[in-house]
Structure 1
Amino acid sequence: MPAAPSPARQRADARRNHARILAVAEREVAAHGAGASLERIARVAGVGSATVRRHFPTRRALLEAVSRTRIDALCARARELTDETANGRNARDALLEWLGEVVAYCAAARGLAPALALDGAEPETARAPHENACSSALEEAGAPLLRRATRAGAVAADVTMPDLITLIVGIALATEHHADPAARAHRLFGLAVAGLSPER
């Protein structure tokens, strides 16, 4: 009877499988959106469906992993713009620039808006819901920008960061199948911005 692989070998195999599944998932989500077939991802990655499920127990977990690099970049950008407002930049302009970049990412990267939109428990995990990590990360990163704009009187006091992320997700999902989703999303966001400022 052959000896079982060592724990170190098992960990290395698991890391390789994870990287391979994620690389295939990124391509499949880019091509087919959030509904990309998990079975096809497993087949192309050369692993079983159970292996995909072991690494990514839910579709949301997979979409979050696929979107992580973009989310990290947007969070870093929010911190840069917050620093700029501390050095005198107009707080409303900084907030709107960042939100515009989130809109652009969502319109260009299929799977990002659904990753932000998915919430609560999925059917297969109804007993163990978890927070939306992508949305939470953006809300936390953007909150200082919103606070500064609100304190400056440039944004209505009752506007919250979850409101703004939800608005962006709605725009991105509504324009996903438009002939020019980026342009349409940008236009709708511009229309929505007119309602952000408090009445004078």
Structure 2
Amino acid sequence: MPPSGSPGPRRRTRGRGGGGWPPDGPAEGTLASQGPDADPEAVARAICLRLLTAAPRTRAQLADALRRRGVPEDAAQAVLARFQEVGLIDDKAFAEAWVDSRHAGRGLGRKALAAELRHRGVADETVRDAVARLDPEEELETARRLVARRLPATRGLPTATRARRLGGMLARKGYSPGLAYRVVREALEAEVEAEGRPLDDLEGWEPEETTGDDVP
């Protein structure tokens, strides 16, 4: 804090000229910021390399980034095609790694995984192939672990309410209604059996549909 009576830090002002902030002119990293003689393909290569260094990207994500930075479509497509040819862009590898990571880390089911990949511009066939790699038994066990973690927090509620909440949680994570029903019913039945009481108020309950994409 400046001493009493001394001027505080000078604030920079916006505006044209005078060294305002942000600086006048094109945004950094765009084609226009490189000057009138810049090679669009060289600029596109630099943008793509910088983005890929930070994290894997799909071709669609890179194409969108180039478009937002003012790279002409023909230059962008030429660079993207070359990057794909040499393996710097690989939507199949991206999708497979995404499925493995998001299922293991977040417990996402097939529908949620497919929706996330499609949102990132991965082609439908590539999405189906990547999601098909998820072992059904592994998906089932992951759903069981999710329910087991959430089950204690629902104790004391009516059975149907517990079922709806647990089933809704699985639905939001992309599990099919059939799998959600099976896992939730198993968990509730095992609990009441251990306590020596019947399972009640569950008849007629059906889990909600997910909003994610169906995966044929």
Same fold (TM over 0.5): no
Which has the higher Rg, Structure 1 or Structure 2?
2
Higher relative contact order structure (alpha carbons within 8 Å, sequence separation ≥ 6) = 1
Q: The TM-score by the shorter chain falls in which range?
A: 0.3 to 0.5
More helix by share: 1
TM-score (norm: length of structure 2)? 0.32
Q: TM-score, normalising length from structure 1?
A: 0.34
